[in-house]
Amino acid sequence: METSVAMAKMAAADGITHIACSPHANGKYSYDLARNEELANDLRGRLARAGVALTIGVGCDFHLSYDNIQAALADTKKYTINGHGYLLVELPDYGLPRGLTETFYQLRLAGMTPILTHPERNPTLQQEMDRIVDWLRGGLLVQVTTNSVTGGMGRKAERAAHDLLAKKWVHFLATDAHNTTSRPPKMSEARRMVEKKYGVEYAQALCVDNPLAVFEGRPLPEQDEAEDLYEDKKKDKGWVARLLGR
């Protein structure tokens, strides 16, 4: 709890106003919503007494195991941010689960909106980022880690993050903070970089407007038009195919 308070103070000093506390829900860490609500209330009281102006919410980093998926479909509020329907989905460190497109569809059909966290850090997607096109078309939202934007997650993650940002395929920046040292809750440097490279309005959407809508359970405001999302790319099959119009 002392670390949580220190992280909250650091976040507030960096200009952050809202945090969704999102512990993992996977085979190693079971997700106990009632207990997490108790801890969040404890943290809120400590921050109020310390004069830290920060709004705390609850969600989870949802892993796509069979048991998790079935539990989420049975209770669509349990794992979502503040119970409002937006679900942070984390992929494995390597590879992609089978049936991922169908899983996203099932979650959407049940009334949840999946938010794919840090796809820029997945080695498979780093090589084949166009694989997320169909997911985006199906309503998936994308979140990128601030440390990836600034280079703290390695060159491959940085390059993938900026590829996504350049195409306007990103809806949120988030700290994915774990501590006050190696993974601190800071966003300002990444926001300034996005402002400089991609525009002030886009940075405002990624860092304020979109995440606040999720936190409060509202639809996202109108988004910038994404590039290469609804244009079918025709593969070059050679001069014979072009000549025959195929």
Q: Which alpha helices (H) appear in 63-145, and where do they start and end?
A: 66-74, 100-109, 123-127, 133-137
Distance separating alpha carbons of residues 215 and 17, to the nearest angstrom: 11
Enter the pTM of the model: 0.91
Q: What pLDDT, on the 0 to 100 scale, is given for residue 235?
A: 45
Who's near 117: CB < 8 A, 6+ residues apart?
Answer: 61, 88, 89, 90, 91, 143, 145, 174, 176
Distance separating alpha carbons of residues 166 and 243, to the nearest angstrom: 34
pLDDT in tens, 97-106: 889 999 999 9
The angle that helices 2-13 and 33-50 make with each other, rounded to 10 degrees, is 60
Residue-range domains of the chain with CATH = 61-244 (3.20.20.140)
Distance separating alpha carbons of residues 159 and 148, to the nearest angstrom: 8
For residue 180, how far is the Cα from the chain centroid? Answer: 20
- Residue given tokens 């593969």 in the structure block: 235
pLDDT in tens, 89-123: 999 888 898 899 999 999 999 999 999 999 999 99
Phi/psi for 150 (5° steps) reads -90, 0
Q: What pLDDT, on the 0 to 100 scale, is given for residue 240?
A: 45
Distance separating alpha carbons of residues 132 and 110, to the nearest angstrom: 21
Give the CA distances from residue 215 to residues 13, 55, 77, 125, 131, in Å, rounded to whole numbers and listed in that order.
20, 10, 13, 27, 28
- Residue given tokens 């979650």 in the structure block: 107
Helices (H) and strands (E) in the chain, counts: 12, 8
Instruction: Pick out the chain residues at pLDDT < 50.
Output: 233-246
Q: What pLDDT, on the 0 to 100 scale, is given for residue 232?
A: 58
